[in-house]
Amino acid sequence: MSEKVMHVGDADFEAVVLGSQEPVLVDFWAPWCGPCKAIGPIVDQLADSYDGKARVVKVDIEKFPTLGVKYNIRSIPMLLMFKDGQVHSSQMGAPPNIKTILTQMIDKAL
């Protein structure tokens, strides 16, 4: 796992994600989710690639279900791109071209 990926929860979501000056890609996931594990290395690569330009954080919805409810997470993996404290774009699931999709989401938010 990349050291650039932050794990956030109820206590620090607002400061880390909503208060960020940089766009933030949030990966809502759970440890038992196969597709979440499959895209994990891609999310880590993006955190490294965009270091200094955008943040990448993960929220374990099992530990922090209130964040899942707040952002209407009905299926995981669910990735939300935040810009200026608002949801800018989203991607549900893990299609084969997920790296391209996430790269485009981040680039559009920059």
**Residue tagged active-site, from 8, 17, 26, 36:** 36
What values do phi and psi take at 13, rounded to 5? -60, -45
80 tagged catalytic: no
32 tagged catalytic: no
Number of helices (H), then strands (E), in the chain: 4, 5
CA neighbor of 25 nearest in space, from 51, 3, 1: 51
What DSSP element (H or E) covers 89? strand 86-92
Q: How far, in Å, CA of 46 to CA of 55, rounded?
A: 9
**Residue tagged active-site, from 26, 33, 59, 81:** 33
- Which residues are catalytic, by number? 33, 36
